[in-house]
């Protein structure tokens, strides 16, 4: 390359890029760094910058170029999705899968393949199968419109797999994907069912009991009570109201840290409050419930506290109307009111008091084996 120092006219960015790629640029610099007049560091810089065609024309980087092209050709061969023997691709499109393992949760993108045997998402760059499932294991499907982190709404495909696992996918052509999936399953004699809405929540599947269903749920902060040297702390999680209880799921530990039966809740109210020096004027929901004859308040903060207050008060009113239909009696130990049949037949739920009539049969059962001996 022959260096050219003269340039007629005014150079633009396009001219500069054209010169770099076509003819190249040679940079030569000598630099000395000194302190208080004493030279400390010397730099001698010589560099050539040009397009690869120009570099190869002048005999530069030829070995590296050949090795790079050879590696890329081999890498592309390995990037083909690994199919099983006799497996044929029926549909291929770009998509993503919600990967969740431990504290790592993220959408992983790649190519979604539907074959005559399975569904999988493959990442060509990493040569990795991120998700796969045989068609027989896909039992039900549900499409839900959700807002992404960019603020745009998109269709999320929820697939119920054997064992209770829920897989979440997003593809470019949702309807085409569903139709092809149903078609492939029909060929192997499998019917794709409809996934109930309450089963879409993987967190809820960890704690819901038989016959328990979700009425409403929302991401909520909860004021954790003082424990040991730890002061009261607001922590993020998810609040659930079911037909049996109110509970709060702590995502970091992956378990329910607060729960109270519906019949123990006596009231709910909401107000605006400062959570900290930074989080000010936030909506707070206070849930009042009874425990061992004492009134306790649990506090939660979220966007829809008014709706939660209304839902809880409706549940309380429903429970109260059911109790009013029955004859009430006061517990002799804690003073809490309860239905007579429940109090005499099962005991007091608040303090654990048991009727002497219930204690007698229990005592006889314990003494009978001793008498026989």
CA 88 to chain CA centroid, Å, is: 33
> Is 351's pLDDT higher than 90?
no
CATH number at residue 146: 2.30.29.30
Burial label for 184, CB within 10 Å (0-12, 13-18, 19+), is buried
Give the end of a domain, one of 197, 224, 247: 197
Q: Which two tokens stand for residue 164?
A: 């209770």
Residues 193, 209 within the same domain: no
Long-range interactions of 256-262: CB distance < 8 A, separation 24+: 256/207, 257/222, 257/224, 258/222, 258/298, 260/287, 260/289, 260/291, 260/298, 262/315, 262/316, 262/319
Does residue 234 form part of some domain? Answer: yes
Q: Which pLDDT band holds residue 333 (cuts at 50, 70, 90)?
A: confident
Q: How confident is the model at residue 363 (pLDDT cuts 50, 70, 90)?
A: very low
Percent of the chain with pLDDT over 90: 31
CB count within 10 Å of CB 206 equals 12
Distance from the first to the final alpha carbon of the chain: 111
Per-residue pLDDT of 105-152, as tens digits, reads 788 999 999 999 999 999 987 788 999 999 999 989 988 888 776 667
CB atoms near residue 181 (< 10 Å):
20
Domain membership of residue 96 (yes or no) is yes
State the pLDDT at residue 342: 74
Tokens 């123990």 sit at which residue?
264
Who wins on pLDDT, 97 or 338?
97
Residue 312 lies in a domain: yes
pLDDT at 367: 47
Residue range of the domain that includes 295? 203-325
Instruction: Give 54 or 352, the one with higher predicted confidence.
Output: 54
CA dist., res. 332 & res. 250, Å (int)? 38
Residue 189 pLDDT exceeds 50: yes
**Do 355 and 294 fall into the same domain?**
no
Same domain, 61 and 25: yes
Whether residues 230 and 340 share a domain: the answer is no
pLDDT digits (tens, 9 = 90+) for 75-88: 665 567 888 899 99
Q: Which of 234, 214, 211 is nearest to 224 (CA)?
A: 234
Residues 110 and 192 in one domain: yes
Full DSSP string of 320-365: HHHHHTS-EEE-TTT--EEEHHHHHHT--TTT----HHHHHHHHHH
Comparison of pLDDT for 2 and 334, the residue scoring more:
334
Q: Where are the beta strands (DSSP E) in the chain?
A: 25-35, 38-49, 89-101, 104-115, 118-123, 128-134, 138-147, 153-161, 166-171, 193-194, 214-224, 233-242, 245-250, 255-261, 265-273, 282-291, 294-301, 328-330, 337-339
Mean pLDDT on 208-230: 85
Among residues 113, 134, 133, 109, the alpha carbon closest in space to that of 123 is found at 109
Same domain for 171 and 112: yes
Residue that terminates a domain, selected from 162, 197, 232: 197
Choose the weakest-confidence range: 56-70, 274-288, 339-353: 339-353
pLDDT at 231: 85
Q: In what order do the strands lie in the sheet with 214-224?
A: 255-261, 245-250, 233-242, 214-224, 294-301, 282-291, 265-273
Least confident of 60-64, 144-148, 177-181, 242-246: 144-148
Does residue 52 contact residue 78 with C-beta atoms inside 8 Å?
Answer: no
**pTM of the entire structure?**
0.48
Same domain, 174 and 253: no
Higher pLDDT, residue 350 or 33: 33
Are 151 and 177 contained in the same domain?
Answer: yes
Number of domains in the chain: 4
pLDDT value, residue 66: 84
Do 211 and 239 share a domain, yes or no?
A: yes
Q: Does residue 81 lie within any of the structural domains?
A: no
What is the three-class DSSP state of 39?
strand
Any domain includes 98: yes
User: How far is Cα 35 from Cα 14, in angstroms, rounded to an integer?
Assistant: 40
8 Å CB contact between 138 and 192: yes
Looking at the chain, the whole-number percentage of residues with pLDDT higher than 70 is: 84
Mean pLDDT in residue range 164-168: 83
In a domain, 285, yes or no: yes
Same domain assignment for residues 264 and 313: yes
Q: Does 132 map to a domain? A: yes
Q: Read off the pLDDT of each residue in 224-241 and give the average, rounded to a whole number.
A: 88
Separation between Cα atoms, residue 283 and residue 300, nearest integer Å: 9
User: What is the distance between the alpha carbons of residues 317 and 328, in angstroms, rounded to a whole number?
Assistant: 16
In-domain check, residue 7: no
Whether residues 223 and 264 share a domain: the answer is: yes
Helix (H, G, I), strand (E, B) or coil at 5: coil
Cβ neighbours of 140 (radius 10 Å):
16
Q: Tell me: do 245 and 170 sit in the same domain.
A: no
pLDDT of residue 364: 45
171: Cβ contacts below 8 Å, ≥ 6 apart: 93, 94, 95, 112, 157, 177
Q: What is the structure's pLDDT at 302?
A: 92
At residue 306, the pLDDT reads 92
Q: Pick from 197, 224, 251: which residue ends a domain?
A: 197
- Whether 370 shows a pLDDT value over 70: the answer reads no
Q: Which of 119-133, 202-216, 222-236, 255-269 is least confident?
A: 202-216
pLDDT band at 198 (very low <50, low <70, confident <90, very high): low
CA separation, residue 44 to residues 24, 27, 36, 228, 230 (Å): 20, 11, 21, 64, 60
pLDDT digits (tens, 9 = 90+) for 10-41: 667 777 788 778 888 888 888 888 888 888 89
Task: Give 53 or 337, the one with higher predicted confidence.
Answer: 53
For the chain, what is the mean pLDDT?
82
């Amino acid at each position: 390359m022959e260096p050219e120092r003269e340039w007629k006219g005014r150079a633009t960015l396009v001219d500069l890029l054209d010169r770099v790629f076509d003819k190249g640029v040679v940079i030569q610099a000598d630099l000395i760094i000194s302190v208080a007049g004493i030279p400390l560091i010397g730099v001698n810089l010589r560099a050539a910058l040009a397009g690869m065609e120009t570099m190869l024309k002048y005999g530069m980087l030829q070995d590296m170029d050949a090795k790079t092209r050879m590696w890329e050709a081999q890498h592309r061969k390995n990037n083909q999705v690994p199919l099983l023997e006799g497996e044929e691709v029926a549909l291929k499109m770009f998509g993503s899968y919600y990967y969740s393992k431990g504290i790592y949760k993220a959408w992983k993108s790649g190519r979604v393949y539907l074959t005559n045997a399975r569904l999988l998402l493959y990442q060509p760059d990493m040569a990795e199968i991120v998700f796969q499932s045989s068609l027989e294991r896909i039992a039900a499907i549900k499409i839900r419109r959700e807002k992404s982190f960019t603020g745009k709404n998109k269709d999320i495909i929820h697939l119920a797999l054997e064992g209770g696992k829920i897989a979440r996918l997003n593809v470019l052509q949702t309807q085409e994907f569903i139709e092809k999936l149903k078609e492939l399953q029909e060929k192997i004699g499998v019917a794709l069912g409809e996934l109930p809405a309450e089963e879409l929540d993987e967190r809820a599947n960890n704690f819901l009991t038989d016959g328990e269903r979700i009425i409403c749920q929302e991401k909520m902060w909860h004021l954790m009570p003082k424990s040991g040297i730890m002061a009261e702390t607001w922590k993020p999680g998810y609040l659930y109201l079911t037909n049996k209880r109110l509970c709060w799921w702590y995502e970091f530990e992956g378990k329910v840290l607060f729960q109270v039966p519906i019949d123990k809740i006596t009231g709910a109210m909401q107000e605006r409050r400062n959570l900290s020096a930074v989080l000010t004027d936030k909506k707070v929901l206070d849930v009042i419930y009874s425990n061992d004859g004492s009134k306790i308040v649990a506090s939660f903060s979220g966007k829809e506290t008014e709706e939660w207050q209304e839902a809880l008060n409706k549940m309380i009113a429903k429970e109260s109307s059911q109790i009013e239909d029955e004859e009430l009696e006061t517990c002799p130990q804690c003073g809490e009111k309860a239905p007579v049949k429940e109090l005499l037949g099962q005991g007091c739920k608040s303090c654990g008091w048991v009727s002497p009539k219930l204690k007698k049969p229990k005592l006889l059962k314990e003494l009978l084996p001793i008498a026989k001996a």
